[in-house]
Structure 1
Amino acid sequence: MDSLFDAVVILAVAMLGAALARRFGLLAPILLVVVGLGLSFVPGFPEVRLDPDLVLVGILPPLLYMAALETSVPAFRLNLRPILLLAVGLVIFTAFVVGLVVHLLLPAVPFAVCLALGAVVAPPDAVAATAVARRIGLPRRVVTILEGESLINDATALVLLRVASMAAIGAAVGVGDVAREVLVSAGGGIVVGVAGVVIFGFLHRRISDAVLDNALSLLIPFAVVLTAEKIHASGVVAVVVTGLGIGHRMPLLMSAASRLQIGAFWRLARFLLEGLVFLLVGLQLREVVRNLDEPFGSLAGITAAVLATVVLARFVWLFPATYLARLVPRVRQRDPAPLAKFPIVIGWAGMRGVVTLAAALALPLTLADGRPYPRQLFIWLAFAVIVVTLVAQGATLPAVARRIKLPPDDPVQDALSAASVQQQASSAARERLDVLAESAPKAVVDRLRRVLAERTNLAWERLGGAERETPSQAYGRLRQEMIDAEREVFRAARDAGRIPEEVLVRAYRDLDLEESLLRRESD
């Protein structure tokens, strides 16, 4: 992009595409990639050359931080074994299998650089899989595993890419070098991440201004990743560790106003960044194919071979990793073997994304002795893996989940658990109110008791199903009409000059907060 105008055009198209996807119930990542593919050949449309540093340092950290903030640490810990098997074991397995296939098809290319390509295409995208999984309503545990995998697998792939690239350009790489690289990258990332939790958690706890809290939250992922990169540690691991720690402790670190504002800000940031990322991937097509000089037959053959290897390797790894571990009695007792439907869906959810393309653009320019290799072909292969897995697998994942009848989470059990905990919370609140009752007027105490009873009743009403309108739903419907009427009166008074603008703003703010609470309770 050569100008601010081009950047605005790109962002506007990304927003429009995401909005259309929401309007028509489509999957935004897929729609935006397809739109980008088409626009890449439109004459006069801004040409975009993706900078790997922009992706790995500018776009990926906030996306990972957002995902980590929302990830349940207890659920992550509970599913740590399958997450690590996918995020570490599967990435290494896929990288070596793809590297071997490419080396067999291109024997003149050293295995080290073929392995580097394998590392590039091995990790599923941190955004695509979870965006699609949440959109189609996959079971909570499947989403947790996919989220956990996507939070860590980039770190594994980037470490493997760095080691393979060092070997490809002639650096001596032994077992000790690999171990040191893993220790510095992963261990250093964990240290930086824990330091980020301590430092930024302390700052969040001391800040009482919601705007400053929001500004600090925006700064955190960039500060953490840049610090990690300074010591050659994994910025991905550092950002994920910081995000998990801050997210888990957020109720203790921030005020209610800060949490509400930060939640709204990160939802907006995710909407813009995710739309931009997938559009940028599609827009790379013109640049990727520009310097390709491979004959069509050989290009199609090696592309099909790499695609098949990437897709099949995930299933070849998943089923043994899922069921062989259950041969251990302790594992089987703690976590019984799941139905085959679950690894099938997880296997089909291996969509690649922008990190794969950024990593491909970071491949070495030449080999150890200065000889060239088909680098542009490797970039094309990475791009093809992204587009095909994202469009083909992403578009068909909902149908696959429906066809195999993957059992959904039980909403009745969720509502029962929520109501039970709400009952305990209400008891604790009632006990606290009883202690403090003498310090307030009786009318105030009675009103608080009614509010508490209504909140408890609402939790139990959700168990009643959707056959008829519950009292809380009727309350929300009628109160919404009342709020609309109040807004109209305040607006007319402002227009007639009876109240200043500041009074209207305060009244609208209070009514907006109440309406947002009504909408949340009706969900």
Structure 2
Amino acid sequence: MHIFETILVLFFGAALLSMVARRLNVPYPTLLALGGVVVALIPGTPMLDLPPELILALFVAPVLLDAAHDTSLRDLRENWRPVLSLVLVAVGLTTVTVALVAKFFLPEMPWGAAIALGALLAPPDAVAALAVLRQVSPPHRIRTILEGESLLNDASSLLIYKLAIGAVAAGSFSVAGAMPAFALVTFGSTAAGWAMAKIVVRVLAPITDAPTATIIQFVTTFGVWIVAERLGLSGVITIVVFGLTAARRPTSSANSHVRVLSNSTWEAVTFVLNVLAFTLIGLQVRPIIEAFPDRVRWHLLGIAAAILGVVVVVRLAWVLVYGFARDQTRSERTDWVQNAKSRLMVGWAGMRGIVTLAAALALPVGFPYRDFILLTAFTVVLGTLVVQGLTLRPLLLWLNFPIDNKVQEELATARGAALEAAMAELDRHEGAAAERMKLEYREALSEARVGRDPRGSSDNSLRQQVVPASRRAIDGLRDSGRIGDDAYRAVERELDLLELSSRISADTD
């Protein structure tokens, strides 16, 4: 009961800190982590210990699936070079550099443990960065790169992490020996994620009860992760491919009532998991520090601080070097100043968070240098959240990016197409109700607001025929690449609300 009461107090405190963070325009993960540190230092505070095998599944699986669902494949394809350079090269450089630094200071540390440390420190966490990016509306391309990186670099880094742990158990680590397993796991996980998404979409399609559908969605999310792990595949890659594939289904394939309620539930749950995870970051400070004698503790803290500097510098250096080299190979003229600003922004938005901490806590008990890895992970996560997290917004304001209206323009295109499809459908009907709806939809079209409920129309069956036509229109725009998922999801939600309003009106008539 005492643990339950502690959790309630933590959630209430985290909610207050989140509100304070929004008022101060700072990323809420930073304040949550610092708040967790304060709570952990209070004498008598109980510790929240979770089984290592549960941590990654509980915190990473639903957050990754939610991010994959909102990711635009079109935008990823347009920016595949910088995203891939961060997912593969930046992760690889960080892993190798951190492993070399750790071995330099701790020569007795096994290579497998050093590589596992580098791999779990490699993936930046997008939650903190995007919390700031949404406040200042950066260029859409920067946001796309950071979102795509955060979605995919977890897969590359955690796959290296998993192979390193296996190498420690086997007693040796060989890059050449790990590559075939890396390729096999990547291919198998991709195929499994795609196949399971196709099956689950078909299973969920006929379900019209929102609570039932939402429960099945969460069970499926954790089930996909567990099945992948049991098959020896990568849970991260499988869940990412699963989410990307499932998100490509047409908007008419799911019930609007189910989608509206389940989306709201997912938003709340993923926020709660992030709150718990970042609070857990701070709560780990006491057992980590208490694990070492005073003299050893300060020595290891110095090594962890050096690794923190390495993690920040390697990412920033790679982004700047890659961008400069790419500029030299381009034949067309580019705006060098704007490119340099964008790279500086991307390079500095490298805060570590939930994935790094979860991977460190998930190390098996008895893993070589586990306490040092936990100390270093905590230092890097808290250090980047505080230093980079608190300076990211001022940096964005100082860089003074031009206003980017790409999403707003695509949103207007999607709304216009949806309304034109509705007008075409109404032209097929005769009568006063159809004429009245035409007039009202023309007004809505001039205002570019598809979510507006036409007033005065009593024929709800007409509205229920109009909405599917609008859905087909935005499906076509997304499939052709004319709009991305940001605009698509916004109009999809407006159509859902319009359809629900017609049902409510029909029920009250």
Q: Tell me the TM-score normalized by structure 1.
A: 0.80
Q: Does 1:431 pair with 2:424?
A: yes
Pair 1:458-2:447 in alignment? yes
Letter in 1 for 2:441: L
Structure 1 or 2, whichever has the larger Rg, is 1
**1:414-469 CA distances to partner (integer Å, 9 max, x unpaired)?**
5444434433433322221111x23xx31x112211221122121299xxxxxxxx
User: Where does residue 289 of structure 2 map in the other structure?
Assistant: 289
Tell me whether 399-408 or 279-288 shows the greater mean CA deviation. 399-408
Alignment equivalent of 2:390, drawn from 381, 390, 395: 395
The answer as to 2:313 corresponding to 1:316 is no
SS in 1 for 2:107: coil
Amino acid at match of 1:248: R
Q: Distance in 1 between matches of 2:128 and 2:290?
A: 26
The match for 1:419 is: 412
Q: Secondary structure at the match of 1:340?
A: helix
How far has the Cα of 1:15 moved from its partner?
Answer: 2.8
Offset at residue 300 of structure 1 (A): 4.3
CA contact (8 A) 2:194 2:242 kept: yes
Give, in angstroms, the shift of residue 251 of structure 1. 0.8
Note closer, same or farther for the CA distance 1:295–1:408 as it changes in structure 2 (3 Å cut): farther
289-298 or 310-319, larger mean C-alpha shift: 289-298
Tell whether the 8 Å contact from 2:25 to 2:135 is kept in structure 1 after alignment. Answer: no
Correspondence for 1:6: 6
1:210 aligns to 2:210 (yes or no): yes
Q: What code does the residue aligned with 1:49 have?
A: D
Task: Report how far residue 297 of structure 1 moved.
Answer: 5.2
Distance in 1 (CA, whole Å) between partners of 2:192 and 2:40 is: 39
**SS at 1:324's partner residue?**
helix
CA distance in 2, matches of 1:350, 1:343: 12
Structure 1 equivalent of residue 161 of structure 2: 161
Structure 1: distance between partners of 2:131 and 2:275:
11
Matched, 1:92 2:92: yes
- Partner of 1:379 in structure 2? 374
Q: Which residue of 2 aligns with 1:302?
A: 303
Number of residue pairs aligned between Structure 1 and Structure 2: 455
SS of match in other structure, 1:339: helix
Percent identity among equivalent residues?
34
The alpha-carbon distance between structure 1 residues 281 and 175, as it changes in their structure 2 partners (threshold 3 A), is closer
- Cα 1:168/1:219, change in 2 over 3 Å: closer
CA contact (8 A) 1:14 1:272 kept: no
Deviation at 1:90, TM superposition (A): 0.9
Say whether residues 1:447 and 2:460 are aligned partners: no
User: What is the Cα deviation at residue 86 of structure 1?
Assistant: 0.8
Structure 1 residue ranges, 4+ long, deviating more than 6 angstroms after superposition: 334-337
In structure 2, relative to structure 1, the CA distance for the partners of 1:425 and 1:275 (3 Å cut) is same
DSSP-derived class of the 2:249 partner:
helix
1:27 to partner: Cα distance: 2.3
- What does the per-residue CA deviation read over 1:40-82, in whole Å, with 9 as the maximum and x for residues that have no partner? 0112333223543232111211111111111112112222222
The answer for the alignment partner of 1:62 in structure 2 is 62
Say which is worse superposed, 253-262 or 12-21, in terms of deviation: 12-21
Distance in structure 1 (CA, Å) of the matches to 2:216 and 2:76 = 25
**Given the superposition, is the C-alpha separation of residues 168 and 2 from structure 1 closer, same or farther in structure 2, using an over 3 Å criterion?**
farther
1:387 Cα deviation from its structure 2 partner = 0.1
Structure 2 residue 252 is matched with structure 1 residue 257: no
The AA in structure 1 aligned to 2:421 is A
Write the letter of the residue equivalent to 2:425.
R
Identify if the C-alpha distance between structure 1 residues 22 and 402 changes in structure 2 by more than 3 Å, giving closer, same or farther: closer
Displacement of 1:343 in angstroms is: 1.0
Q: Match for 2:446: what amino acid?
A: N
Question: d(CA) in 2 for partners of 1:211 and 1:109?
Answer: 50
Q: Does the Cα contact within 8 Å between 1:116 and 1:363 map onto a contact in 2?
A: no
Q: Which amino acid aligns with 1:151?
A: L
Q: Residues 287 and 422 from structure 1, CA distance in 2 versus in 1: closer, same or farther, beyond 3 angstroms?
A: same
Letter in 2 for 1:207: I
Matches within 5 A, 1:91-490: 91-175=91-175, 177-249=177-249, 251-293=251-293, 294-295=295-296, 298-328=299-329, 339-363=339-363, 374-410=369-405, 414-435=407-428, 437-438=429-430, 441-442=431-432, 444-459=433-448
> Quick one: distance in 2 between partners of 1:342 and 1:320?
13
The alpha-carbon distance between structure 1 residues 259 and 291, as it changes in their structure 2 partners (threshold 3 A), is same
Normalized against structure 2, the TM-score is what? 0.82
Q: Distance in 2 between matches of 1:262 and 1:285?
A: 35
Structure 1 residue 126: Cα displacement: 4.7
Q: How far apart, CA to CA, are the structure 1 residues paired with 2:163 and 2:411? A: 48
3-state SS of the aligned residue for 2:352?
coil
Mark the runs of 5 or more structure 1 residues left unpaired by the alignment. 368-372, 462-471, 476-509, 515-523
Which amino acid in structure 1 is aligned with residue 378 of structure 2?
Answer: F
Q: Distance in 1 between matches of 2:127 and 2:353?
A: 8
Q: In the alignment, residue 449 of structure 1 is paired with which amino acid?
A: K
**C-alpha distance in structure 2 between counterparts of 1:249 and 1:177, whole Å:** 39
The whole-number CA distance in structure 1 between the counterparts of 2:319 and 2:61 is 28
Q: Deviations over 1:87-145 (max 9, x none)?
A: 22211110101111121122232333222211121111253333333344322211111
What amino acid is the match of 2:167? A
User: What letter is aligned with 1:47?
Assistant: M
Q: Give the distance between the partners of 2:176 and 2:111, measured in 1 at CA.
A: 20
Alpha carbons of structure 1 residues 403 and 133: separation in structure 2 relative to 1, 3 Å? same
The 10-residue stretch of structure 1 (384-393 or 211-220) with the greater mean CA deviation from structure 2: 211-220
Equivalent residue number for residue 501 of structure 1? none
Report which stretch shifted further, 13-22 or 270-279: 13-22
Q: Counterpart of 1:321 in structure 2: which amino acid? A: Y
**Structure 2 gap segments, 5+ residues each:** 456-496, 502-509
CA distance in 1, matches of 2:119, 2:86: 14
